[in-house]
Every structure is written in structure tokens, then in C-alpha cells.
Amino acid sequence: KNEVEQSPQNLTAQEGEFITINCSYSVGISALHWLQQHPGGGIVSLFMLSSGKKKHGRLIATINIQEKHSSLHITASHPRDSAVYICAVRNVGAGGTSYGKLTFGQGTILTVHP
Amino acid sequence: EAQVTQNPRYLITVTGKKLTVTCSQNMNHEYMSWYRQDPGLGLRQIYYSMNVEVTDKGDVPEGYKVSRKEKRNFPLILESPSPNQTSLYFCASSWGSAYNEQFFGPGTRLTVL
């Protein structure tokens, strides 16, 4: 079982729909990142979360540390949101080390049709 | 413009021929890291560096070397490339550690024949 699991793996939506992508993890973490990979391959950081909720434009990210789960929501989806969305966790090692380690989910391929 | 650059962007080479992929950032970031991305496996961390002369292994370090002699540069060295190192490679940097927002380079597509 992977340490970081995303669901769904593939998601198709119609323009305007509300979208949710989920990320569950099994390790202790100090931070969770949501990334977006464009069809051309470039990767940009969307959010870093250590608790609670963050919002940027039509994107909302939440995290529940106790349940080891995070969600990325896209409101009023648009074809330009079509991309791969990746969550990544910053592990906390057994001794509180590994400050530099990141473990990634498999990614969710989102396609938004006009 | 704040950016992470990688060179080359595309490389086709043969088994056993040593190569270096360069990574440079102009944001004075302490943290730099290398990842590879493979279909079905996603992104995996190869090595990371918390600062000059401080490097550590990620999840898939075998077959790779790194060095961090200057803050802005973090080259990835494949001393004897093999076909299983054919992949898309990304370099990233951030303030402090992996806790903070990651800035990614454009990627290097490597093919080892």
C-alpha cells in the first residue's frame, strides 16, 4: 500500500461543475502540498497545508490531520483547470528528522469539458 | 524573474556514458531537491539538499549522485546511466525545507539507450 493515496485517479467533468480530489496518507506528516502539472509538463505549487483550510480563487484545500486526509476542491470548473493534480506529504521520520523528504501521490488526471 | 532552470531539457544517451543534469535557482533558496517521474509511479524523490554541503537520500537514490557546492546549484550526476533511468526529471527549490512552497524547474526528459 502506498503511503499517499489519491482518488479518483481519473476525473472527467463538465464546465461549471464542483470538483473534489482526495488525498489520504498513512505516515506522520508536518505539511501537505497540492501541486498542479500542466499538460505541457510544468509543475506549480497550489497550496501548502499544515492544518485547516486555504482558499485561492476557485481553489480550496482542506486538511484533517487526525483523519490523515486532505481534499482539493475546484468550484465552477473550467477547461483550463484540466491538468494532473498531485498531493505530496512532508514526512516526519521516526526521530523527527527527514525534514527534506517528500512523498507523492500518484496524481489525479482531471479533464474538464466545455 | 524568479526561476529554477534545468539543462539540458532533452537528452538521449547510451548506457554507461556519464552525464550531468544541471539545476540552478536564483531565489537564494536553502532547499533543493531532485525527482523523477515515471508513468504509473508518479513523482519520486531522488536526493535533496537542506543547504550547501548538506545532502541526503530520497526514496530512489540508487545510481545517482549529487553535490551542493554553491547555494544556487544542485547538479544531478549519473555516473553510469542504465535504461531504467530513462525518465522525466524535475529539480525544485524552496525556502528553508520541504515544508515551504516548492518551485519546480521545467523538467529534463532523459532517454538511456
Q: What is the pLDDT of residue A15?
A: 97
Confidence band, pLDDT 50/70/90 cuts, at residue A93: low
pLDDT higher for A100 or A83?
Answer: A83
Q: How confident is the model over A49-77, as a mean pLDDT?
A: 95
Q: What is the pLDDT of residue A13?
A: 97
pLDDT tens-digit map of A9-43: 999 999 999 999 999 998 778 889 999 999 888 99
At residue B112, does pLDDT exceed 80? Answer: yes
pLDDT tens-digit map of B16-75: 999 999 999 999 999 999 999 999 899 999 999 999 999 999 999 999 999 999 999 999
In angstroms, the Cα distances linking B11 to A45, A68, B28 are 26, 39, 28
Q: How confident is the model over A39-68, as a mean pLDDT?
A: 93
A44 reaches B (C-beta below 8 A)? yes
Chain-chain contact of A31 with B48 (C-beta, under 8 angstroms): no
Residue of A nearest to B102 (CA): A45
Contact B33, B48 (CB under 8 A): yes
B27 reaches A (C-beta below 8 A)? no
B45 reaches A (C-beta below 8 A)? yes
Task: Find how far residue B91's CA is from the centre of its chain.
Answer: 4
In angstroms, the Cα distances linking A58 to A16, A42, A69, B27, B95 are 11, 20, 20, 28, 26
- CB hemisphere CA count around B32 (13 angstroms): 32
Q: How confident is the model over A98-102, as a mean pLDDT?
A: 78
Chain-chain contact of B43 with A45 (C-beta, under 8 angstroms): no
Q: Report chain B residues whose CB lies below 8 A from the CB of A101.
A: 45, 48, 56, 58-59, 98
B46, with CB counted inside 10 A (0-12, 13-18, 19+), is buried
Q: Is the peptide bond before A8 cis (omega within 30 degrees of 0)?
A: yes
Which of the 8 DSSP states describes residue A2?
Answer: -
Q: What is the pLDDT of residue A1?
A: 60
Alpha carbon of A81: minimum distance to chain B alpha carbons (Å): 19
B3 reaches A (C-beta below 8 A)? no
Q: What is the pLDDT of residue B100?
A: 85
Q: What is the pLDDT of residue A27?
A: 78
